[in-house]
Structure 1
Amino acid sequence: MQDLKVLTKEEKEGLDVPRISEDQVAENSFGKKVYIESYGCQMNFADSEVVTAILQENGYVTTSNVKEAHTILLNTCAIRENAEHKIRHRLQVFTHLKAKNPALTVGILGCMAERLKTKLIDEEKIVDLVAGPDAYRDLPALLDEVSDGQKAINVFLSREETYGNIEPVRLNSNGVTAMVSIMRGCDNMCTFCVVPYTRGRERSRDLPSIIAECEKLFQQGYREVTLLGQNVDSYKWTSEEGQLVNFAHLLEAVALVSPLLRVRFSTSHPKDITDEVLYTMKKYDNICKNIHLPAQSGSNRILELMKRSYTREWYLDRIKSIRNILGEECGVSQDMIAGFCTETEEDHQDTLSLLAEVEYDFGYMFAYSERPGTPAEKKLTDDVPEEVKMRRLQEIIDLQRIHSAKRNEMWVGRKVQVLVEGDSKKSKLHHFGKIDSNKVVVFPKGNEVKGDYVFVNVTHCTSGTLLGELC
């Protein structure tokens, strides 16, 4: 069990998570009101929308005001050690809240719940409920157990559960963009990754329920959907008539909902993305020309240790196909890990050279964090010193920043179509939205409203944002 110190006021204020003060807690129960916080990837945020739908069907209501809540649920991530540290710090804050309100129920959902199981209840006495990603239908029953004075846990992993028949409740929605889960789990046993152990094996949601959800979203005024999966390219579903539907077929079916409905997807796996998918993207203007294609490393030796099932050469061939079929304007982003087990300076230089050859638009870059229970933790040695990891990570970030700026500069002086998503974070006098390749554009407001498509002349840019004027 890890000893956790009491946080100082300054430490609490420094936490990079949503915060609430102790005086916000209620002195008594307010009934079936639930407050949900989500952490980690888009899949977790989409799962929270499923959780909300299940709870509402069973008489619960959600609240954004924690002082009204009888139950607090944290939907957690376990991909990196820092993600779990954030949750443990958050639980310390709730310890103070529960001291003022003993009726408060605290539950941990998601990947951290699945990874630690009963350890969470043993190590964090404040935790009353633990539910893995496939146990959300059981949440009302688990909450009833807690109401009866028991601790409740369900971390059963399913080979069938997709929540396909549940209509998610959109949380913190801008009313324009929405996430649509198309599959769950992962069959790629990358040595560094906990996902196969926390989200189970791969299974695809049925096509009709996906299309029905997208059609309803469009009717409600949404103008962009992002199809989510750990590895969307391996989507496979067979109809009752025996027709096999792959990801390219699914993309086309969603694109046909309406030409005014933009379609995005995440995440692709380099070993599985096909030219059929790329040509389908080219065929439909409303399928956004943007691909997130995690590389993780530019070294063949490290890729083999990671069991990524492709080589550097294979990866670069996929990039070549993306550029040839979809054009240089197609946005491409990456995931990169610095300092994986036994990584040498030569391996690191291979990663930098991959970055230089591809010139990504954007990237998610991290220092390697060993996760308990993974093949890497069991069979490999995490032997790269922390200071070396951080230096290599900074070099990757610095190079990516240069490429992001370069890729943005290519849009300066051009007219682009933007889907308006809302007010700019920095000014209520400006709107922001994204172009086809997923770049953010900020521009002074005109008569447009959220959900409109507008044309903007890009006048200048930063490494992260395009700036312009309405045409």
Structure 2
Amino acid sequence: MAGRTEGADLKSVSPNQPGKDYSRYFQPPSLKEAKKRGKADVQVHYDFAIPEEMAGIGRGKHFLIRTYGCQMNEHDSETMAGILREMGFAQTDDEREADIILFNTCAIRENAEDKVFGELGHMKSLKRDNPHLILGVCGCMSQEEAVVNKILAKYQHVDLIFGTHNIHRLPVLLRDAMYSKEMVVEVWSKEGDIIENMPKLREGSIKAWVNIMYGCDKFCTYCIVPYTRGKERSRRPQDVIAEVRELARLGYKEITLLGQNVNAYGKDLEGGSYGFGDLLDEIRKIDIPRVRFTTSHPRDFDDRLIEVLAKGGNLVEHIHLPVQSGSTEILKKMARKYTREQYLELVRKIKAAIPHVVLSTDIIVGFPGETEEQFQETLSLVEEVGYDSAYTFIYSPREGTPAAAMEDNVPLEVKKERLQRLMDLQNRISLEKNLALQGQVLEVLVEGESKTNPDVLSGRTRTNKLVHFVGDKSLIGKFVEVRVTEAKTWTLRGEIAAKVEV
């Protein structure tokens, strides 16, 4: 099967025909084309099923999925793992045991793509030793024309390429990959419908991802996501609530509601009057101890949402609120659609309604044209807001986005130096925030053993602070009150004060 442009037939694509132009099978991430968001209603389908001829094809075989990027990719990997399990496959961490290896990729930064290409190169010898291995590339990188053409030209040991909009077709695509001598490529440039009732193989039984919407319509000038994930499509409230209730019944302690822009939830639903705040107001009444969400866009963070979050309960006090820059001029070039002053006013309203709120953020350093004065505005905003943590990045141009065509006149050395100054500032603030917690008793959801010491347990507070403490492994999956004895920049150490029964 071939990549699909709108209205094109699906065909098999063979990479073994030198000089052949494959570009006609794919729709490149064009701002002009991507902004043509159709008004046709998105259909919701509840009839997902594994095709009869593929139902038991995986018995005695194994799969491995390597996931890169955001929580949405992790959620997609859980869905693909669930589909493969229903086909009879068992999961493995050993690439030499695997009969199927899928790379679920991220396109948001260049180094993420480079890492995947490096891994694909490593797979060549594995494929030579095991010619029956099915090697697939999916996720956001697959939605980029240049990436697909590069795989076709240089990584011909790849058997399967598919995108973010057709995960539900994995059984059919695997069938074609197994029985065809040609590379199977199916990339839909136009987003598909919403497919409910797909199986999931969740990681663990303590925390769970719940997708509430797909896509993004913001078109920040630096971001590839609107091209790789399509237009905003919200799941129906009753479907989201049913999934959350089922997770509560199964004993999950925490859920994270996912969307490229969760605050835009409901805007595409009929009537447009039911928003993210309304959904949260219903979910907070469900008997599940903690509810988080990500990612927020400040533009859509409305008063109704603040009002609901202020009710507390199972709605935690941690909010991730990406600012990207503290300069109104740079924010305008980024097409963020808010000013520095509007962002700070939003922060003021959130803090007034939720006094103990903990804020984290994303910041890009070295955006094209950023001056020292504009960077200083970012530093001063970070100081004024007082984030507990921040994800900081040097600007990475993504082909096909408007920012990639802008003159990038900030030298790399300057970008690195600014990033270091920003990190130094945030590290100081983060440490000050954590030092203020010393001696306090915090509720910690125990997630498992520490990654560095199996004799130490690790968990998170409601405000997403990572806490390490010594305790019996029977506490994993439970709530424990921990007294903070030592504060570091990014973690806390403590001792058990009491177990919380939930």
The corresponding residue for 2:310 is: 282
The corresponding residue for 1:88 is: 117
Tell me if the contact between 2:165 and 2:191 (Cα under 8 Å) persists in the aligned partners: no
2:367 is matched by which residue type in structure 1? F
2:260 pairs with 1:208: no
- 2:445 is aligned, of 419, 422, 426, to 419
2:323 pairs with 1:305: no
1:463 is matched by which residue type in structure 2? T
Identify if the C-alpha distance between structure 1 residues 91 and 283 changes in structure 2 by more than 3 Å, giving closer, same or farther.
same
> SS of 2:298's equivalent?
coil
The corresponding residue for 2:188 is: 156
2:139 pairs with 1:113: no
State the Cα distance separating 1:270 from its structure 2 match: 0.8
2:319 pairs with 1:291: yes
1:127 is matched by which residue type in structure 2? V
Tell me if the contact between 1:352 and 1:396 (Cα under 8 Å) persists in the aligned partners: yes
2:152 pairs with 1:125: no
Aligned mates of 1:393, 1:238 — CA distance in 2: 38
2:79 is matched by which residue type in structure 1? V
The corresponding residue for 1:333 is: 360
State the Cα distance separating 1:246 from its structure 2 match: 0.9
Aligned mates of 1:374, 1:239 — CA distance in 2: 28
Aligned mates of 1:217, 1:453 — CA distance in 2: 17
The corresponding residue for 1:345 is: 372
The corresponding residue for 1:179 is: 209
State the Cα distance separating 1:243 from its structure 2 match: 8.2
1:268 is matched by which residue type in structure 2? S
The corresponding residue for 1:4 is: none
> SS of 1:468's equivalent?
strand
Identify if the C-alpha distance between structure 1 residues 417 and 56 changes in structure 2 by more than 3 Å, giving closer, same or farther.
same
1:302 is matched by which residue type in structure 2? I
Aligned mates of 2:220, 2:93 — CA distance in 1: 37
Aligned mates of 1:366, 1:145 — CA distance in 2: 40
The farther-off stretch of 80-89 and 215-224 is 215-224
Number of residue pairs matched by the alignment: 437
Tell me if the contact between 2:445 and 2:480 (Cα under 8 Å) persists in the aligned partners: yes
State the Cα distance separating 1:32 from its structure 2 match: 4.5
Q: Residue by residue, what CA displacement relative to the aligned partner does 1:145-182 show, whole Å, maximum 9, x if unpaired? A: 222212111111454533432232113x2x21111111
The corresponding residue for 1:138 is: 169
The corresponding residue for 1:54 is: 83
> SS of 2:292's equivalent?
strand
Greater RCO (CA < 8 Å, at least 6 residues apart): 2
2:101 pairs with 1:75: no
Aligned mates of 2:473, 2:118 — CA distance in 1: 45
State the Cα distance separating 1:375 from its structure 2 match: 1.0
- 2:223 is aligned, of 171, 193, 196, to 193
> SS of 1:236's equivalent?
coil
Identify if the C-alpha distance between structure 1 residues 262 and 95 changes in structure 2 by more than 3 Å, giving closer, same or farther.
same
Tell me if the contact between 1:207 and 1:237 (Cα under 8 Å) persists in the aligned partners: no
Aligned mates of 2:300, 2:194 — CA distance in 1: 21
State the Cα distance separating 1:400 from its structure 2 match: 0.8
Aligned mates of 2:427, 2:346 — CA distance in 1: 23
Aligned mates of 1:376, 1:31 — CA distance in 2: 49
Aligned mates of 1:334, 1:170 — CA distance in 2: 27
State the Cα distance separating 1:371 from its structure 2 match: 0.6
Give the unaligned 5+ runs of structure 2. 1-57, 498-502
Aligned mates of 2:473, 2:78 — CA distance in 1: 32
2:124 is matched by which residue type in structure 1? T
Tell me if the contact between 2:266 and 2:275 (Cα under 8 Å) persists in the aligned partners: yes
The corresponding residue for 1:363 is: 390
Tell me if the contact between 2:140 and 2:228 (Cα under 8 Å) persists in the aligned partners: yes
TM-score, with structure 2 as normaliser: 0.83
RMSD of the alignment, in Å? 1.9
Tell me if the contact between 1:162 and 1:183 (Cα under 8 Å) persists in the aligned partners: no
- Over the matched positions of the two proteins, sequence identity in percent amounts to 43
2:348 pairs with 1:317: no
Aligned mates of 1:118, 1:159 — CA distance in 2: 20
The corresponding residue for 1:457 is: 483
Aligned mates of 1:58, 1:425 — CA distance in 2: 32
Tell me if the contact between 1:192 and 1:374 (Cα under 8 Å) persists in the aligned partners: yes
Q: Residue by residue, what CA displacement relative to the aligned partner does 1:315-353 show, whole Å, maximum 9, x if unpaired? A: 1011111111111x3111111111000111111111111
Identify if the C-alpha distance between structure 1 residues 130 and 159 changes in structure 2 by more than 3 Å, giving closer, same or farther.
closer
State the Cα distance separating 1:30 from its structure 2 match: 8.8
Aligned mates of 1:67, 1:223 — CA distance in 2: 35
State the Cα distance separating 1:61 from its structure 2 match: 3.5
State the Cα distance separating 1:203 from its structure 2 match: 0.6
The corresponding residue for 2:33 is: none
Aligned mates of 2:245, 2:73 — CA distance in 1: 23
Aligned mates of 1:40, 1:402 — CA distance in 2: 27
| Counterpart mapping for 1:1-80 below 5 A | 32-80=61-109
Aligned mates of 2:143, 2:268 — CA distance in 1: 29
1:384 is matched by which residue type in structure 2? V
State the Cα distance separating 1:420 from its structure 2 match: 1.6
The corresponding residue for 1:168 is: 200
Identify if the C-alpha distance between structure 1 residues 164 and 253 changes in structure 2 by more than 3 Å, giving closer, same or farther.
farther
Q: Residue by residue, what CA displacement relative to the aligned partner does 1:356-386 show, whole Å, maximum 9, x if unpaired? A: 11111111111011110011113x1122111
Q: Residue by residue, what CA displacement relative to the aligned partner does 1:370-423 show, whole Å, maximum 9, x if unpaired? A: 110011113x11221111111111111111111111111221121211112122
State the Cα distance separating 1:118 from its structure 2 match: 4.1
Identify if the C-alpha distance between structure 1 residues 448 and 411 changes in structure 2 by more than 3 Å, giving closer, same or farther.
farther
Identify if the C-alpha distance between structure 1 residues 238 and 257 changes in structure 2 by more than 3 Å, giving closer, same or farther.
farther
Identify if the C-alpha distance between structure 1 residues 152 and 431 changes in structure 2 by more than 3 Å, giving closer, same or farther.
same
Q: Residue by residue, what CA displacement relative to the aligned partner does 1:214-260 show, whole Å, maximum 9, x if unpaired? A: 222222221000001111000007888x68421011112222111x4
Tell me if the contact between 1:164 and 1:206 (Cα under 8 Å) persists in the aligned partners: no
State the Cα distance separating 1:460 from its structure 2 match: 2.1
Aligned mates of 2:150, 2:118 — CA distance in 1: 16
2:278 is matched by which residue type in structure 1? H
Aligned mates of 2:471, 2:246 — CA distance in 1: 29
Aligned mates of 1:159, 1:103 — CA distance in 2: 32
The corresponding residue for 2:297 is: 269
> SS of 2:341's equivalent?
helix
